[in-house]
Structure 1
Amino acid sequence: MGRRRKGRDISGWLVVDKPAGITSNAVANKVRWAFDARKAGHAGTLDPEATGVLAVALGEATKTVPYITEALKAYRFTVRLGQATNTDDAEGEVIAESDARPSDAQIAEALAQFRGDILQVPPKFSAVKIDGERAYKLAREEEDFEIAARPLYVEELEMIAREDADHVTLEMVCGKGGYVRAIARDLGEALGCHGHVRDLRRIWSGPFEAEDGIDFALLDELARTPELDSYLHPLEVGLDELPELRATAEGAARLKNGNPGMVIASDVEYGDEAWASFDGKPVAVGVYKSGELHPSRVFNL
């Protein structure tokens, strides 16, 4: 019998305004420690130097992480024109330079090709796996390798400021798996001037916004205190994109045991994914079929 992890039986979401210079996993571990929680996980990795929304799930809320990971996310970032780096951001080594500087009109025109359903090649310094190895590991070892292009949905990509000839600030709303560094790199190539990300901030992720995020220093200050719990969002916020169904008492009992349970539904159709609640608490996520929810995830609250 496996050893049970020590800690509080606490569930919910904490939105952290991640500072630069720390990994997303380190933030999630810090949150778990601060709440003395048994389990924690984040929804959507940010590069160590990136800032902004990092949503961390605790306890049973970790079962809703995929729904936040799949949700649209928004980024504000500044592209340094005229230079390409080996990491596609300011942390890397400059590998190419150009004196060319596009006009605002040229930038606006070039952005059109990066909207909608596009194919994107992730940066070589990324966590993509190549034959079982992380790409960044191979890149550090100066191995010669290629990364296949991957589909990405970009809902919006707009220029919002032009600081000077060398810098342009953009905002992007995209789906799962987008690499902002790749957008900067490919935009620079499209404009014939090279480019890399100077700074990057995630301004929202699904239902979570940066303005709702707790400062990392405050997280440390309030660690292991009752006051920190007031910053926790309920588990069901992670299910914001799914319809809520009301389970009957018998249905809730069946759902908690992993069986299909009767629910009261109005705005869902056969085969829709939804979640069920009973007495104000989430019970399960699953697929609605003929008056019942067939659970895929059950919450033990």
Structure 2
Amino acid sequence: MSELNGYLNIYKEKGMTSHDVVFKARQILHTKKIGHTGTLDPNAQGVLVLCVGKATKAVEYLNDLDKVYEAEILFGQETDTCDCTGTVTAEAPVSFTREEFLKALEFFKGDSMQVPPIYSALKINGRKLYDYARAGEKVEIPPRPIQISRIEAIETDELPYKARFIVECSKGTYIRSLCRDIGKKLGTVACMGDLYRKRVGDFRIENALHLSQLKNLMLVGRAQGFFHEPEYALEKFRMVTANRQGSRFLRSGNRLYQWNAIEDFESYEDSEILRLYDQEEFVGIGRFCAGEEPYVQPIKMF
């Protein structure tokens, strides 16, 4: 069987860690070269994109893709993890209207600063935040910029005790923190209940494979048909193509200048990430470097 390369849209089941999914996928696909993008908590489920083979080189670029979640918010209790699996740290009465809830959601649309939950894998001073939490140590968690492009309620019948909403957001957004902050905005406390990741970039939940399905596809030799090519998730980046003269330079990982590239360099911006092509074949990722003699520097070759 030929080497497997590309992205797999996997449905992470509730109760599994993202690392569990990678471990099982390695067994199914008989390869160690697998990574994942955008960790999902064990209590969450939905889209987890796996990068297999050469596609592991693009993991950092997939992390930048926008994501869509369906979340349950539970009012009246706050927990140390900001979700329903944690230890209750505060309780408060709830008495707000549906209209006030909708207005609170709208408040969080756009650019803002968010404080991540202490039970997370983010590092401060070289240590993961959950290490501080488990050791009972206090640590200052600086807020980080996030962007929410869409947020809307989808179930409100059980307000003011619980509701469900859809949110489309940038990388680095913690839905657990968002639920906590919505509670504060409404003058009470809240935590996250169920969480479904519905989309990562163009990878959608309705097309996601369960691990059991992937195993069956491998047994009948059809798994390759469900892989997306390495450039699939990089379409947001513009392209630059080597001409015949530039082909051997690019294939060797050397710079492309205007004389050995097809596209006009005038349109590129300094430090812009570009997809690299030799004729019609995708071969890597590069960075444009402006200056007296502009060039494209390959940074990842596939």
Q: TM-score, normalised by structure 1?
A: 0.89
- Paired AA for residue 199 in structure 1: D
- Paired AA for residue 90 in structure 2: A
| Residue pair 1:41, 1:57 contacting (<8 A) in 2 also | yes
| Residue pair 1:260, 1:292 contacting (<8 A) in 2 also | yes
- Paired AA for residue 103 in structure 1: T
> Relative to structure 1, is the Cα distance of residues 267 and 188 closer, same or farther in structure 2, using a 3 angstrom cutoff?
farther
| Residue pair 2:75, 2:189 contacting (<8 A) in 1 also | yes
The CA deviation string for residues 220-258 of structure 1, in whole angstroms up to 9 with x for no partner, is 344465222221111111212112333324423211211
Q: 2:69 aligns with which of 75, 79, 82?
A: 75
Note the 1:85-100 alignment, pairs <5 A. 85-100=79-94
1:3 match: none
1:56 aligns with 2:59: no
2:273 match: 273
> Relative to structure 1, is the Cα distance of residues 38 and 124 closer, same or farther in structure 2, using a 3 angstrom cutoff?
closer
2:300 match: 297
| Residue pair 1:76, 1:172 contacting (<8 A) in 2 also | yes
The CA deviation string for residues 16-39 of structure 1, in whole angstroms up to 9 with x for no partner, is 011111111221232233222241
SS at match of 1:67: helix
Gaps of 5+ in 1: 1-6
Q: 1:214 aligns with which of 206, 209, 223?
A: 209
The 2-side partners of 1:268 and 1:297 are apart by 23
1:117 aligns with 2:111: yes
| Residue pair 1:74, 1:204 contacting (<8 A) in 2 also | yes
The 2-side partners of 1:280 and 1:131 are apart by 45
* 1:169 Cα offset (Å): 0.8
| Residue pair 1:19, 1:52 contacting (<8 A) in 2 also | yes
* 1:267 Cα offset (Å): 9.6
| Residue pair 2:92, 2:189 contacting (<8 A) in 1 also | yes
- Paired AA for residue 166 in structure 2: E
The 1-side partners of 2:174 and 2:127 are apart by 19
- Paired AA for residue 182 in structure 1: S
1:104 aligns with 2:98: yes
1:239 match: 234
Gaps of 5+ in 2: none
Note the 1:28-67 alignment, pairs <5 A. 28-67=22-61
2:168 match: 173
- Paired AA for residue 276 in structure 1: L
> Relative to structure 1, is the Cα distance of residues 163 and 31 closer, same or farther in structure 2, using a 3 angstrom cutoff?
farther
1:199 aligns with 2:194: yes
| Residue pair 2:246, 2:261 contacting (<8 A) in 1 also | yes
SS at match of 1:29: helix
1:286 aligns with 2:286: yes
1:253 aligns with 2:248: yes
- Paired AA for residue 274 in structure 1: L
Please say which of residues 112-121 and 41-50 is displaced more in the overlay.
112-121
The 2-side partners of 1:113 and 1:275 are apart by 37
The CA deviation string for residues 120-167 of structure 1, in whole angstroms up to 9 with x for no partner, is 111111112233222112212222223111111111222122141211
2:124 match: 130
- Paired AA for residue 25 in structure 2: V
2:138 match: 144
Identical residues among aligned pairs (%): 32
Q: TM-score, normalised by structure 2?
A: 0.89
Q: 1:229 aligns with which of 210, 224, 236?
A: 224
1:161 match: 155
* 1:280 Cα offset (Å): 4.0
- Paired AA for residue 275 in structure 2: W
SS at match of 2:73: strand
The 2-side partners of 1:117 and 1:15 are apart by 28
